[in-house]
Chains A and B, each alone.
Chain A
Amino acid sequence: MTPDQILFIVTALISTLAAVMVVSRRNMVHAALFLVLTLFGVAVAFVLLEAPFLAVVQVLVYIGAIAILMIFAVMLTRNVTDDSGDPFNKNARVGGLAALFVFSLLVVMFGGWSQFTAYPQAGDTSGSIVQLGVALTAADGYVIAFEVASMLLLGALVGAIFVVWPRQNENE
């Protein structure tokens, strides 16, 4: 086995186990911390696939922003030291079945893809970032999707500010 393969097996095992822990832990903060571990495992997988940009964005967006926001919210809203109660509700079985269905779908999909067993090409990937940037802003690329997403985010930002803005008549 090459070092790459060993690395892949170790990270895949860790992130899968951590993903199981996310849904099975009673303590919400622990679940959130295991989620960070899972997301980091995915970032390592991106590095092994020679996609440093995606790996870094994965860490920046999912760990740096989303996971930290989740932990922050959990700490603020719940009695965090209290870990009584069942983490599963009656939808657990349906959820499990849905997850199994999606997983088998992915296996079938990727099993039929000829590139599935191909190794990533090692080497300079700086050109691919330029390609990505051009594709996001080119008229024949993804500029409309990009602009729609940015307008959506801007709307969410404005909405968030509007929700927390102190009303004039409430002060009276």
Chain B
Amino acid sequence: MTDPLALLGDWLLNLLAQLNLPPGLRQVILYLLGVSVIATVALVITIFNTWLERKIAARIQDRLGPNRVGPWGLLQPIADAIKMLTKEDTTPAAADKVAYNIAPILAVVSVLLIWAVIPFTSQWFGTQLNVAVLYIAAVGSFGVLAVLMAGWSSNNKYALLGAFRAVSQLISYEVPLFLSLLIPVLLARSMDISVIVEKQATLLEMYVVAAPLAALLFFISSVAEVGRTPFDLLEAESEIVAGYHIEYSGFKFGMFQAGEFMHTFTIAALTALLFLGGWQGPGVAQAPILGLFYFMGKSFAVYFVTMWMRSTLPRIRIDHMQALNWKILVPIALTLLMLTPIVDYFTKDLGVLFSAFGGALTLSWRFAALLLTNILVTLAAIEAVRRNAKRNFVERSRFPERPVARPPREEAA
């Protein structure tokens, strides 16, 4: 099966060759085209995701969701985008103009940069970087910078409060995020995402089998990193109105929103790549294009969980947010990071534990031992939390019972 994208690339190269451009310039033009294609793909997926999220949240909360514009309300995000663009673009008089205007761009760029290293199939990727995992961790810091700049430059107390909250949350949750990112790197012995995906060839070779706890830690801390429910303290509308983007309107506000939606899908895609095998699936060796469907399917499955969490969970309290991070997530992540290499070292040459369906289900001793380690760490963590809760038991003062309105009993006819 021929690769349509490769055909397109060859055609473009021929076209540029006919134009008699110098080879260096040709390369630059191709890179620029690639960058715009990947950025557009990410943004188009985001537009679709806003509709999907509203529809699914509506279903979970027993509503209908958008259903007026286009079939099933599919054109609603387009209508919303036009509304955003035609709104007045306000800038506070006392704002720091330059920083105020750069912040929303930085918020989107910090997420788009991650897409440069995401492999959609075995052949389609922006760039194959041998330090991709580290790169993802690094460009995430621009997001923190964007929040800080937006909060400070708005010259608004609510915005500054929101930015402080945001930065304290983002910096704290970066620790378990990076520590859990290291587990797939350890297992694959590479920081290259393409290699990490290639190593997860069959169902039981996915790293979610060998490191389910690391996958969970990665997922929780990345949801906190995006600042979505239940970690949406940075824009808690009932406390600090809207946090760092309170002063933004129109298109700039839209960019913050787009950045957040795109970041959510990006973390879903990263979870799929690092722990669920990315584009790996049956038949990928014969037809690499199938990988796109597997990758998107896995990403949307993870994305669905974030939507589910958003539409059901209440916001976490700020002291609980910090306690969860420093007292639970970080110790677990550190323990895992110490145990995983030790277990891996002693079990790496032990061979296959069992194999079924002609090798489609193959569990090695190494993965079984790692899974057992993860389960033991989970049990130990639960036990530790339980003991701690018992030792530091706080008697909560109860409110006197208030009268509750009840429906009148139906009179017997």
Q: How many chain A residues touch the partner (CB < 8 A)?
A: 27
| Complex contact B141–A64 (CB within 8 A) | yes
| Complex contact A129–B131 (CB within 8 A) | yes
Q: A153: CB under 8 A from chain B?
A: no
Q: A23: CB under 8 A from chain B?
A: no
Q: State the A residues within 8 Å of B (CB).
A: 2-3, 29-30, 33, 36, 52-53, 56-57, 59-60, 63-65, 67-68, 71-72, 75-76, 80-81, 124-126, 129
Flag the segment in B24-32, B241-249, B354-362 that touches A. Answer: B24-32
Flag the segment in B143-151, B213-221, B375-383, B393-401 that touches A. Answer: B143-151
| Complex contact A33–B149 (CB within 8 A) | yes
Closest residue of chain B to A36 (Cβ to Cβ) is: B145
Task: A80 to B152: give the CA distance in the assembly, Å.
Answer: 9
A-B contact pairs, 8 of them (CB 8 A): A29-B152, A60-B137, A63-B138, A64-B174, A68-B171, A72-B164, A75-B164, A129-B131
Interface-central residue, B94, B134, B155, B164, by most chain A CB under 10 Å: B134
Task: A53 to B191: give the CA distance in the assembly, Å.
Answer: 10
Once A3-B27, A75-B160, A129-B191 are accepted as A-B contacts, the answer to whether A68 and B148 lie under 8 Å apart by CB is: yes
CB A61 to nearest CB in B, in angstroms, measures 9
| Complex contact B131–A68 (CB within 8 A) | no
Overall SS of chain B's interface: helix
Q: Which residue of the partner chain, among A52, A53, A64, A126, contacts B140 with CB atoms under 8 Å?
A: A64
Given contacts A63-B145, A64-B138, 5 further A-B contacts (CB under 8 A): A3-B28, A52-B130, A75-B152, A75-B163, A126-B190
Task: A81 to B149: give the CA distance in the assembly, Å.
Answer: 13
Task: A81 to B24: give the CA distance in the assembly, Å.
Answer: 47
| Complex contact A126–B130 (CB within 8 A) | yes
Q: B321: CB under 8 A from chain A?
A: no
| Complex contact B25–A57 (CB within 8 A) | no
Q: B365: CB under 8 A from chain A?
A: no
- Which residues of chain A are within 8 angstroms of B191 by Cβ–Cβ distance? 129
| Complex contact B138–A59 (CB within 8 A) | yes
Task: A63 to B146: give the CA distance in the assembly, Å.
Answer: 12
Closest residue of chain A to B99 (Cβ to Cβ) is: A33
Inter-chain CB contacts under 8 Å: number: 74
Task: A10 to B140: give the CA distance in the assembly, Å.
Answer: 24
0/1 per residue, B126-140, Cβ < 8 Å to A?
000111001101111
Q: B309: CB under 8 A from chain A?
A: no
| Complex contact A68–B152 (CB within 8 A) | no
| Complex contact A129–B152 (CB within 8 A) | no
Q: B198: CB under 8 A from chain A?
A: no
Interface-central residue, A30, A36, A57, A64, by most chain B CB under 10 Å: A64
CB B133 to nearest CB in A, in angstroms, measures 9
- Which residues of chain B are within 8 angstroms of A56 by Cβ–Cβ distance? 131, 134-135, 138
CB A67 to nearest CB in B, in angstroms, measures 8
- Which residues of chain A are within 8 angstroms of B148 by Cβ–Cβ distance? 68, 71-72, 75
CB A143 to nearest CB in B, in angstroms, measures 17
Closest residue of chain B to A128 (Cβ to Cβ) is: B130
0/1 per residue, B89-122, Cβ < 8 Å to A?
0000010100100000000000000000000000
Q: B240: CB under 8 A from chain A?
A: no
- Which residues of chain B are within 8 angstroms of A75 by Cβ–Cβ distance? 148, 152, 160, 163-164
Q: Which residue of the partner chain, among A60, A67, A76, A124, contacts B134 with CB atoms under 8 Å?
A: A60
Task: A65 to B170: give the CA distance in the assembly, Å.
Answer: 11
| Complex contact A124–B130 (CB within 8 A) | yes
Q: B42: CB under 8 A from chain A?
A: no
- Which residues of chain B are within 8 angstroms of A124 by Cβ–Cβ distance? 130
- Which residues of chain A are within 8 angstroms of B167 by Cβ–Cβ distance? 68, 72
Closest residue of chain B to A52 (Cβ to Cβ) is: B131
Closest residue of chain A to B133 (Cβ to Cβ) is: A56
- Which residues of chain A are within 8 angstroms of B171 by Cβ–Cβ distance? 68
Q: B142: CB under 8 A from chain A?
A: yes
Task: A125 to B190: give the CA distance in the assembly, Å.
Answer: 12
| Complex contact B141–A68 (CB within 8 A) | yes
- Which residues of chain B are within 8 angstroms of A53 by Cβ–Cβ distance? 130-131, 134
Task: A63 to B113: give the CA distance in the assembly, Å.
Answer: 15
8 Å CB interface, B77-98 against A? 94, 96
Task: A6 to B59: give the CA distance in the assembly, Å.
Answer: 54
Q: Which 8 A-B pairs have the closest CB atoms?
A: A64-B141, A126-B130, A60-B138, A59-B138, A56-B134, A56-B138, A56-B135, A3-B24
| Complex contact A63–B141 (CB within 8 A) | yes
